[in-house]
Amino acid sequence: MELSLLDIVVFLGFFGVVVGVSMYKSRKEKTSEDFFLASRGLMWPLIGLSLIAANISTEHFVGMAGQGAGVAGMAIASYEWIAAVTLVFVAIFFLPRFLQSGIYTIPEYLEYRYNPAARAIMAFYTMVIYVGVTIAAVVYSGGLTLQTIFGDLENPQHLLYSVWVIGSIAALYTIWGGLKAVAWADLFQGSALIIGGAITMVLGFRAIGVNNFFEVNADKLHMILPRTHSVLPWTALVIGLWIPNLYYWGLNQYITQRTLAAKTLRQGQLGIIFAAGLKLIIPFIIIFPGIMALQLYGDQLKGESGTDAAYPLTHDHPSDE
């Protein structure tokens, strides 16, 4: 893949704007409340987009698109739509209690509600999960993307450099301005992810054809899978998915911190509802492109068994022209 000078300028310019604006907007943060909770002054658009940007990072695009192209198909969208319902629940029942208590973190709420031991246990396990699972997956998948675009896939050093670039950019504005810097960065990054996904979906429809897409992929567009399904049985959605969803959207410090920084309860609730609304469209801009990629480039993809994941070609497939 050859990149033009314009590609590189746009890429660097975007990150320049993200870092510059976020650092400028957070230049006056001084106290711990300023740093950790953005002076408790976030308005609903920033809260909503920050929630989405924190959620749909690189591993989200890779994982959901891959499952959409794989055996789960559109049923994987249930994670997003159940999340939308969960967000509304959090806005109505969880957030008022959190803001009334005046906490900075979710582990702190456990001390407020129970005792210091509960706070310490949750803080410890949360840090282990963030460092060992969440951050590791995000920087690796993001680094792999940069390596694919700018580097050599056969050179592990290029992956290492890419990971360091991503981590350094994020650390720069986060350490400088705290949550306010993160929220402003999320405004750009969240918008870019949603707009970029929507553009990809539109381009995919143009390449394949709307009717052709729905006809050829009818078997991947089911929302309910059998209870014996190997990846996403309907019983897991009805019975099991609510517990991790309530934790992730209501008790996960990485996510909930945005809502704790709301200027008022109303602003926080509106921000969460805004995020819930965006969640309804996320499956279409992530899962649809994954299914389209299989239809367009199935002969170049490998299945789990290592065999070609060849896709049945139709007259409208670009390779037939």
pLDDT tens for each residue of 158-169: 999 999 999 999
Global pTM reads: 0.86
H helices present in 39-134, as ranges: 44-55, 58-69, 78-89, 95-101, 106-113, 116-129
Could you count the other beta carbons within 10 Å of the beta carbon of residue 164? 12
pLDDT confidence of residue 306: 42
Residue with tokens 């959409």: 68
Residue 209 clears pLDDT 90, i.e. is over it: yes
Residue 183 clears pLDDT 90, i.e. is over it: yes
Structure tokens at 163: 């990971």
Q: How confident is the model at residue 119 (pLDDT cuts 50, 70, 90)?
A: very high
Structure tokens at 90: 């959090």
pLDDT confidence of residue 302: 59
- DSSP class of residue 228 equals T
Name the packing angle between helices 242-250 and 78-89 (round to 10°): 60
Residue 49 clears pLDDT 90, i.e. is over it: yes
Q: What is the pLDDT of residues 120-152, one digit of tens each?
A: 999 999 999 888 888 888 888 888 888 888 878
pLDDT confidence of residue 1: 59
pLDDT confidence of residue 321: 35
Please, are residues 2 and 165 in contact by the beta-carbon 8 Å criterion? Answer: no
Could you count the other beta carbons within 10 Å of the beta carbon of residue 150? 16
Sign of the Cα pseudo-torsion (126, 127, 128, 131, in order): positive
In the beta sheet, which residues pair with residue 308?
Answer: 302
Residue 230 clears pLDDT 90, i.e. is over it: no
Please, are residues 276 and 87 in contact by the beta-carbon 8 Å criterion? Answer: yes
What's the 3-state SS for 271-315? Answer: HHHHHHHHHHHHHHHHHHHHHHHHHHHHHHCECCCCCECCCCCCC
Structure tokens at 114: 């129970």
More confident residue, 294 or 315: 294
Q: What is the pLDDT of residues 232-253, one digit of tens each?
A: 899 988 888 888 899 999 999 9
* Cβ neighbours of residue 100 closer than 8 Å, sequence gap 6 or more: none
Question: What are the φ/ψ torsions at residue 302 (nearest 5 degrees)?
Answer: -115, 135
Residue 318 clears pLDDT 80, i.e. is over it: no
Select from 222, 249, 250, 224 the least CA-distant residue to 238.
224
Q: How far is CA 61 from CA 22, 137, 226, in A?
A: 24, 12, 25
Average of pLDDT values for 243-269?
A: 93
Structure tokens at 311: 């896709």
Q: What is the pLDDT of residues 10-46, one digit of tens each?
A: 889 998 999 999 999 998 888 888 898 999 999 999 9
Select from 259, 257, 289 the least CA-distant residue to 274.
259
